[in-house]
Amino acid sequence: MMKQIANRIFISCLTLAALAGFVFVACKSDSGKVQSFDEDSPHVMAVSPADSTTDVSVNTSITVSFDESMYPSTISFNSDDEECSGGVQLSRDGFISCVPLSSASLSYDSDKKVFTLSPQSPLDGKVNYKIKITTDAKDLSLNPLETDFLTSSGFTTKTSGPVPVNSAQAIYFGDQNTKESELTGTIKIDRAIDESDIAGYNIYWGSSETERLADTPLIGSLLVSADKLQYNLDNTAIPGGATHFLAYSSNENGDSLTPVALDIPDTVLKMVADINGSGPSNPHSYKVWNSKLYFSANDGSTGAELWEFDGVSAPKLAADITGDPASSMTVPQKMVEFNSKLYFTACDSTVGCELRGYDGTSVSLVEDIYAGTFSSDPTELTAFGGKLYFSACDVANGCELWFWDGTPSPSGLNIGMVADIAYLPTPDSSSDVKDITELNGKLYFSASDGPSDFFGREIWWYDGTTPPASVSLGTNYNGINIRTTTASSDPEGITVYGERLIFGADDGIGAGKEPWISDGTISPTTVGNYSILSNITGDGSSSSPKGFTEFNGKLYFSATTAANGDELWVYDGNNSPTLVADINPSGSSSPSHLFAFNGMLIFSAFTTENGNELYGYNDYDPSGTPFMIADINNGSGPSMPEFFTVFNSRLYFTANDGTNGNELWVFYTE
């Protein structure tokens, strides 16, 4: 009985084959299973144009040769759109999209082994195309290809006419996505000066400044007629091996031979380490020295001590100065390199807070300036003229300007007070030196001549030779006396900008505390050439300028007005300062910790929605405004970024993500 059934199946197959006019060796049995005498998969023997062929005509046809007869209806393809589908596919962008093929052009030989078809329209010139034959293609026994066939290099078309010779002037991009290998932002193209031969611009991923990255799609196309040549990326992953954006000018004959290129600026923001797993480590006082980043941090067991970070391994404790859980470095300060060592102020229970040096191995005391357990509290450490200058306090003179020449001397002969500026009414009155700044071979600083107020708090200078005069000694005042009465102008934020001093001060005449400028031309007997830079408020109130920072040749700072609150301002060196932006329209954004880094002005700013967060500003775009780089502490909670420092071309700072407390963070662009 089984033999009879088999015979019937065989006869049925032969009958179908005869009706079809060719040997068809597959059919279904009564059980529904495919019966075939051919169970081998077909193979692609050749394609044309062949792999690595160049100068192919834009009117080329596509030919595919198989090792056995194929079922014609399985040689399918897209003909209505650019969707990649069917057994035959042709693509220029890694099969993200495919070239529509003409149904009318399909032909095959009598053996049904060689199939030819053509694109619906001419291909673009000077473009690389690849051919794919998928497992949708089947032989006469309905056996599919074992795997997809794909040309490895593809073929490149020749130019059918002149491609553009004019190129875009430049390409720009700022990444606003702080995740690694992911981009968000706007690609901007600076038009070619002459666009007469250009229809548009094509943007590609590049593996170098001149080579497109293989097997990746076209990023986007822009028409020359567009008002703005901009293409937006939104959380776009960077393909492996992509290092550049390439922008080619384009017309109907293809892309220009050479592109303009931009190194992909992938912005990354992340916490370096959770130094204190049980609370905030509160890192501060960053200083790059001896190819490492040094700072104070508290790991929860040793107190606030000296730490180091090499940029690769995890941060580690450099020195435990107190040797117990007590802290030696709690107050943010200025650490400085001097005579091949790192100097800073640290405290212990034996000598209090005094000047110390670190040689890369151990910490040593320089001098117990305020003898006993009292603290001299050295601040404003500044290396100048082969000596180290700082403000320090002792029992006899109060807090004054001191120096050290770098020579160890227990007797104190090589360390001492420069001058007792605040001598009256008693020798132990304090001048409280602040904002030590160097300009043209002099140190400038803010100091008070004491409670007697001969001059109040004004700007003083020291050239390393002639000490600032003590009023009580009857010598002339060395400085800039802005408020000519005994009251103080209270100068703050003394900064060098364009060989001039910029600072905030109040002359008492009616402008309040505003930005002032001086060229520093002063002598022991002549006051400096100085003047108010601008009355920003326009009345007697104070704009209270702070944080003067140079960026791209301009001076940025925060200032307060009744109309805008405390916001970001800029001075170009010639015209009056202007408001950059009202970052927080509902109040003050209070920009602080301004810092120039990698073509951006970085700072902390406040908004009601996000609290104090990390902001950036680029001034190359006339329409640009400050933008939040990241909401580190998500929501309205502040991350309070501060203490910005560059190390190994990366920006390090302290921030609070709302989970780990104040820890060490890094921001950079790869």
How do residues 382-394 score in pLDDT, each as one tens digit?
Answer: 999 999 999 999 9
The three-point CA angle 34-36-39 to 5° equals 105
Least Cα distance to 641 among 616, 670, 620, 608 occurs for 616
CB contact set of 600 (below 8 Å; sequence gap of 6+): 616, 617, 618
Tell me the residue length of the chain. Answer: 670
If one compares 552 and 5, the residue with the highest pLDDT of the two is 552
Calpha distance 559→591 (Å, rounded): 9
Cα 651–chain centre separation:
8
Q: How far apart are CA 414 and CA 402, in angstroms?
A: 11
pLDDT recorded at residue 426: 76
Residue written as token pair 């080619």: 248
Of residues 485 and 89, the one with the higher pLDDT is 89
Confidence of residue 414 (pLDDT cuts 50, 70, 90): confident
pLDDT tens, residue by residue, 592-651: 999 999 889 999 999 999 999 999 998 766 567 899 999 999 999 999 999 999 999 999
Q: Is the pLDDT of residue 125 over 80?
A: yes
* Confidence tier at 528 by pLDDT (50, 70, 90): low
Residue 4 has what pLDDT? 38
The pLDDT, as a whole number, for residue 455 is 81
78 neighbors 97 (Cβ within 8 angstroms)? no
What is the rounded distance in angstroms from the CA atom of residue 280 to the CA atom of residue 271?
A: 13
Q: Cis peptide before 283, with omega less than 30 degrees from 0?
A: no
Domains, in order of start, for the chain: 2-36 (no CATH), 39-160 (2.60.40.1220), 170-265 (2.60.40.10)
Q: What are 88's strand-pairing partners?
A: 133
Distance (Å, rounded) from C-alpha 119 to C-alpha 610? 54
| Residue 235 confidence (pLDDT) | 95
Q: Which comes out higher in pLDDT, residue 469 or 244? A: 244
Position with higher pLDDT, 313 vs 252: 313
Between 19 and 367, the higher pLDDT residue: 367
Amino acid at 408: P
Question: Does 1 score more than 50 pLDDT?
Answer: no
Task: Please report, as a single letter, which amino acid is at residue 208.
Answer: S
CA distance 183 to 180: 8
What are the φ/ψ torsions at residue 366 (nearest 5 degrees)?
-80, -55
Residue 194 is predicted with a pLDDT of 97
Q: Is 36 helix (H, G, I), strand (E, B) or coil?
A: strand
Residue carrying structure tokens 């805008």 = 564
Band of pLDDT at residue 478, cut at 50, 70 and 90: low
Q: At 429, is the pLDDT very low, low, confident or very high (cuts 50, 70, 90)?
A: confident
Chain segment 12-46, per-residue pLDDT in tens: 443 333 333 344 444 444 444 445 568 899 999 99
Q: Give residue 619's pLDDT.
A: 75
CA distance 186 to 180: 17
Predicted pLDDT at 326: 96
Name the amino acid, one letter, at 339: N
CA distances from 483 to 415, 445, 489, 505 (A): 33, 16, 5, 9
What is the pLDDT of the chain when averaged over all its residues?
89
Selection from 152, 151, 155, 135 nearest residue 43 by Cα: 135
The predicted structure's pLDDT at residue 512: 93
> What confidence score (pLDDT) does residue 36 get?
52
pLDDT value at 173 more than 70:
yes
Show the 3-state SS of 352-389.
Answer: EEEEEEECCCCEEEEECCCCCCCCCCCEEEEEECCEEE
Residue 107's nearest CA partner among 149, 142, 48, 64 is 64
The number of angstroms, rounded, from the C-alpha of 91 to the middle of its chain's C-alpha atoms is 35
Could you give the strand order of the β-sheet that contains 565-571, starting from the edge strand earlier in sequence? 546-551, 554-561, 565-571, 578-581
Q: Is the pLDDT of residue 427 over 80?
A: no
Pick 239 or 452 by higher pLDDT: 239
Q: What gap in Å lies between CA 276 and CA 272, rounded to an integer? A: 12
What's the pLDDT score for residue 8?
38
Instruction: Say which residue, 288 or 479, is predicted with more confidence.
Output: 288
Alpha-carbon dihedral angle through residues 467, 470, 474, 479, given to the nearest 10 degrees:
70
Tell me the residue ranges of DSSP E strands in 533-625.
546-551, 554-561, 565-571, 578-581, 592-597, 600-607, 611-617
Burial of 482 (0-12, 13-18, 19+ CB in 10 A): buried
Q: What percent of the chain has pLDDT over 90?
A: 73
- pLDDT of 166 reads 95
Q: What's the Rg (C-alpha) of the chain? A: 37
pLDDT confidence tier of residue 118, bands split at 50, 70 and 90: very high
Whole-Å CA distances, 350 to 241, 301, 328 = 58, 20, 11
> Residue 26 in contact with residue 142, Cβ under 8 Å?
yes
Q: For the CA atoms of 14, 18, 21, 24, what is the dihedral angle to 10 degrees?
A: -10
Are β-strands 415-419 and 434-439 bridged in parallel, bridged antiparallel, or unpaired?
Answer: unpaired
Instruction: Cite the beta strand spans of 430-534 per DSSP E.
Output: 434-439, 442-448, 457-462, 479-480, 492-497, 500-506, 513-518, 530-532
Give the Cα separation of 151 and 48 in Å (integer).
10
